[in-house]
A and B are shown apart, each in its own frame.
Chain A
Amino acid sequence: MLLEIRNLHVSVEGKPILRGIDLAVAAGEVHAIMGPNGSGKSTLANVLAGREGYEVTGGEVLYRGRNLLEMPPEERAREGIFLAFQYPVEVPGVSNIYLLKAAVNAVRKHRGLPELDAMDFLKLVREKLRLVQMDEQFLYRSVNEGFSGGEKKRNEVLQMAVLEPTLGILDETDSGLDIDALRIVSEGVNSLRSPERAFLVVTHYQRLLNYIVPDRVHVLAGGRIIRSGDRTLALELEERGYGWLLDEAARGQAAGQAAS
């Protein structure tokens, strides 16, 4: 199993946000995580990427059989985890191309590969720029500074395409994108799909899943996965909303409590 999350509990500032997540993702799979706002989707994504400020109060996460939660964020990245941020961060004064090059070489070094020389690096980046249909001038601008919402999201996918992660986590990469941008971003992701890689796609909308077809769909609500299914679950959610599922989950919980 590439990623195994077992009974994960996470609190933020003393408030429980994730309350027992179980999830197993095998190489080659795409899992979609859906759910209402505030249900903990970003929390899950951030915890997997190693962001500070989240307290794991229970459970464990294994990545390729190793304890992921022990690793600093840079080590997770070097081991092949990539988080496309819901809100990509502006870093004035650091150019996109510098970041890309430093990132690629840090990963290569970790894998015992020599650094890419300037020519090979540029060749790689140009190829990926075409994939996400970004102009080369973006390379020389500060990371995300002054980028439109859509440009930021594409820049995330560019970074992901360049780094070729083993586990790509996309946190609402589709929100705020028009249909063309959505297609471009999806193609970027699809081009990376392979038997060795897996993706965790956090989204609000079934729309994205027309392009990135998931193997499994999970609904996260109140810090728990309340339903898992195949892609038809996403279609059902599109049609019926989350209400019925939340009601069902609440009934199930009440019944469980009554029984115990």
Chain B
Amino acid sequence: MSAQPQTRAGAGEAFAAAFRERRGGLPGAGLAWLEGLREQALERFLAVGFPSPRDEDWRYTDVRVLARRLGVPSAGPGPVAEEAVRALAFEGLEAHRIVFVDGFLAPALCAVGPLPEGAAVGGLAEALARDPEALAPWLRLPEGADGLMALNLAFMTDGLHLRLDDGVVLDRPVHVIHLRSGAGASAHLRHVLVLGRGARATVIESVAAVSEAEAVDNQGTTVVLGEGAALDHYHVREAGPRLYHVGAAGVRQEAGSRYVSHDVTLGGRLTRSGIHVELAGEGAECVLNGLYVVGGRQQVDCHTRIEHRSAGAVSRELYKGVLDGRARGAFTGRVVVHPGAQRTDAEQANHNLLLSEDAEADSRPQLEIYADDVKCSHGSTVGELDETALFYLRSRALDEALARSLLIYAFASDVLERMALEPVRRQLERRLTERLLRPEEAEGVI
């Protein structure tokens, strides 16, 4: 107990010193509003520190372990070979490519093709240099921001900037690659995605590491969808066993807009994925799909919060977890139906498969309803493989190992099947089959 504030104060001191030293070189330096925001954010961090394990929202993230590793931010990117980037491409996917290394844009590794009129795809730092005022509304310290979010805003070094004017459709997806090179202790990217009325885009974010060194990602994302806009947002985390990755996304949706998220975690030592959706306009729709397939000592903590603030909005949420070894997977999904959000249609489900005695799954669906004309359902299960199905497959001459693997694959691929982007879906299906099946068994399973 008594040691903790000291640790925090010590960490605080180091971050405050790093801030004094770096602030002049951070993007948007010299912009009064942004400097004000950074200072305010640092103050918040110094005041609240890292989230406490006693905090309900952080109960299932090993914050102490995370905080111990979260050193002061990288001063610049380490080296990354082009092959590492190529290895993360999705076969058959033509995409604009934006690469960040240790929290910094790596222009030499990026490849952005011709864009339609009214579209901007690039780095946040660059956008801040070009037209800072356009970004001012979207860079704010949210009320009640926790220490990690505050730290992200204080130190944000760069991030994806995607802006589509009204009616602009980005045919080609944007593939954002986050790489860690082993240099530096923490990286703080902030992504801002703003889609005007009726605009459409697809963004895939890959998280990976080219080094085995311990590293912490502390990312923040702001998504703003105008009326009738649509964003398909994929997260694919395949980092090695020493990456600690925290991501917190805030999504605001105007009337008739559609946000589809596919949140997939296969790698990383610890992953905390937070998505907070505000269904602000009538008839807005969000679809949150999630899959975590982890083992060893991996930990995944998925937090979603969907706020139905207007009438006739729809939310569909399905998260599935497969936990082996001593892995821990947690899902907390809160759906809040605010007063006046009549005709809300919300479905939520979280299902977990435990493959070992030492694996653990925690599932917390939470519904808060303050309107009367609503349709809400939620379900949550933690279980083992279906013995009846296992016997059925074995009675058809399949050996037990194959029968198990097939059932695990089928359980997980149910989430992947919902992906509209075939190259991403195929690649993830291949990854799963590679993990679960021998090559000769994998043929025809997808």
- Chain B residues in 8 Å Cβ range of A49: 395
- Chain B residues in 8 Å Cβ range of A83: 395
CB-CB nearest in chain A for B417 = A93
CB-CB nearest in chain A for B414 = A93
Is B388's CB under 8 angstroms from A89's CB? yes
Is A92's CB under 8 angstroms from B410's CB? yes
A110 at the interface (CB under 8 A from B): yes
- Chain A residues in 8 Å Cβ range of B388: 89
- Chain B residues in 8 Å Cβ range of A142: 410
Q: Chain A 58-78 against B: per-residue CB contact (8 Å), 1 yes, 0 no?
A: 000000000000001110111
A72-B400, A101-B444 known; A50 and B410 CB under 8 Å?
no
Q: Which of B387, B398, B414 contacts A52 (CB 8 A)?
A: B387
Is B410's CB under 8 angstroms from A93's CB? yes
A24 smallest CB distance to B (angstroms): 23
Q: Which of A73, A78, A103 contacts B391 (CB 8 A)?
A: A73
Q: Which of B394, B406, B407 contacts A74 (CB 8 A)?
A: B394
Is A85's CB under 8 angstroms from B397's CB? no
B389 at the interface (CB under 8 A from A): yes
B402 at the interface (CB under 8 A from A): yes
Is A74's CB under 8 angstroms from B392's CB? no
Q: Which of B392, B393, B397 contacts A78 (CB 8 A)?
A: B397
- Chain B residues in 8 Å Cβ range of A98: 406, 444-445
Q: How far is the CA of A161 from the CA of B388 in the complex (A)?
A: 22
Is A92's CB under 8 angstroms from B393's CB? no
Q: Which of B396, B407, B411 contacts A159 (CB 8 A)?
A: B396
| Chain B, range 359-402, C-beta contacts under 8 Å to A | 387-389, 391-400, 402
- Chain A residues in 8 Å Cβ range of B387: 52
Is A74's CB under 8 angstroms from B400's CB? yes
Is A106's CB under 8 angstroms from B398's CB? yes
A72-B400, A89-B388 known; A77 and B394 CB under 8 Å?
yes
Is A94's CB under 8 angstroms from B406's CB? yes
Is B389's CB under 8 angstroms from A89's CB? yes
Q: Which of A89, A93, A103 contacts B398 (CB 8 A)?
A: A103
B222 at the interface (CB under 8 A from A): no
B409 at the interface (CB under 8 A from A): yes
Is B393's CB under 8 angstroms from A106's CB? no
A129 at the interface (CB under 8 A from B): no
Q: Which of B397, B410, B441, B445 contacts A91 (CB 8 A)?
A: B410
A102 at the interface (CB under 8 A from B): yes
Q: How far is the CA of A76 from the CA of B394 in the complex (A)?
A: 9
Is B396's CB under 8 angstroms from A103's CB? yes
Is A102's CB under 8 angstroms from B394's CB? no
| Chain A, range 71-129, C-beta contacts under 8 Å to B | 72-74, 76-78, 82-83, 85, 88-95, 97-99, 101-103, 106-107, 110
Q: How far is the CA of A228 from the CA of B19 in the complex (A)?
A: 91
Is B406's CB under 8 angstroms from A106's CB? no
B413 at the interface (CB under 8 A from A): yes
Is B399's CB under 8 angstroms from A106's CB? yes
Q: How far is the CA of A16 from the CA of B73 in the complex (A)?
A: 69
Is A77's CB under 8 angstroms from B406's CB? no
Is A91's CB under 8 angstroms from B389's CB? yes
Q: How far is the CA of A90 from the CA of B392 in the complex (A)?
A: 9
- Chain A residues in 8 Å Cβ range of B414: 92-93
Is A51's CB under 8 angstroms from B391's CB? yes
Q: Which of A78, A91, A102 contacts B402 (CB 8 A)?
A: A102
- Chain B residues in 8 Å Cβ range of A159: 396
Q: How far is the CA of A94 from the CA of B400 in the complex (A)?
A: 15
A89-B389, A102-B402 known; A73 and B395 CB under 8 Å?
yes
Q: Chain A CB within 10 Å — which of B391, B402, B411, B441 has the most? A: B391
Interface of B is mostly: helix
- Chain A residues in 8 Å Cβ range of B398: 74, 99, 102-103, 106
- Chain A residues in 8 Å Cβ range of B444: 95, 97-98, 101
| Chain B, range 207-241, C-beta contacts under 8 Å to A | none
Is B395's CB under 8 angstroms from A94's CB? no
A163 at the interface (CB under 8 A from B): yes
- Chain A residues in 8 Å Cβ range of B399: 74, 106
Q: How far is the CA of A4 from the CA of B414 in the complex (A)?
A: 44
Is B395's CB under 8 angstroms from A77's CB? yes
Is B395's CB under 8 angstroms from A50's CB? yes
Is B413's CB under 8 angstroms from A89's CB? no
Q: Which of A90, A92, A95, A110 contacts B397 (CB 8 A)?
A: A110
A101-B444, A107-B397 known; A52 and B413 CB under 8 Å?
no
CB-CB nearest in chain B for A49 = B395
- Chain A residues in 8 Å Cβ range of B391: 50-52, 73, 89
Q: How far is the CA of A17 from the CA of B3 in the complex (A)?
A: 64
| Chain A, range 135-175, C-beta contacts under 8 Å to B | 142-143, 159, 163
Q: How far is the CA of A90 from the CA of B413 in the complex (A)?
A: 16
- Chain A residues in 8 Å Cβ range of B396: 77, 99, 102-103, 159, 163
A87 smallest CB distance to B (angstroms): 9
Is B445's CB under 8 angstroms from A163's CB? no
Q: How far is the CA of A8 from the CA of B407 in the complex (A)?
A: 33
- Chain B residues in 8 Å Cβ range of A163: 396-397
B410 smallest CB distance to A (angstroms): 3
Q: How far is the CA of A21 from the CA of B44 in the complex (A)?
A: 77
- Chain A residues in 8 Å Cβ range of B393: 91, 94, 99
Q: How far is the CA of A77 from the CA of B397 in the complex (A)?
A: 5
Q: How far is the CA of A74 from the CA of B397 in the complex (A)?
A: 4
Interface residues of chain B, those whose CB is within 8 Å of chain A, are: 387-389, 391-400, 402-403, 406-407, 409-411, 413-414, 441, 444-445
In the A-B complex, the 9 residue pairs with the smallest Cβ-Cβ separation, listed nearest first, are: A93-B410, A77-B397, A89-B392, A106-B397, A73-B394, A103-B396, A74-B394, A103-B397, A73-B395
Interface residues of chain A, those whose CB is within 8 Å of chain B, are: 49-52, 72-74, 76-78, 82-83, 85, 88-95, 97-99, 101-103, 106-107, 110, 142-143, 159, 163
Chain A to chain B contacts (Cβ below 8 Å), 21 pairs: A51-B391, A51-B395, A52-B387, A73-B395, A74-B403, A77-B396, A85-B392, A85-B395, A89-B391, A90-B389, A92-B414, A93-B409, A93-B413, A94-B407, A97-B444, A102-B398, A103-B398, A106-B397, A110-B397, A143-B392, A163-B397
- A77-B396, A98-B406, A98-B444 known; 6 new pairs, CB 8 Å cut-off, are A73-B394, A74-B399, A91-B410, A92-B410, A103-B396, A159-B396
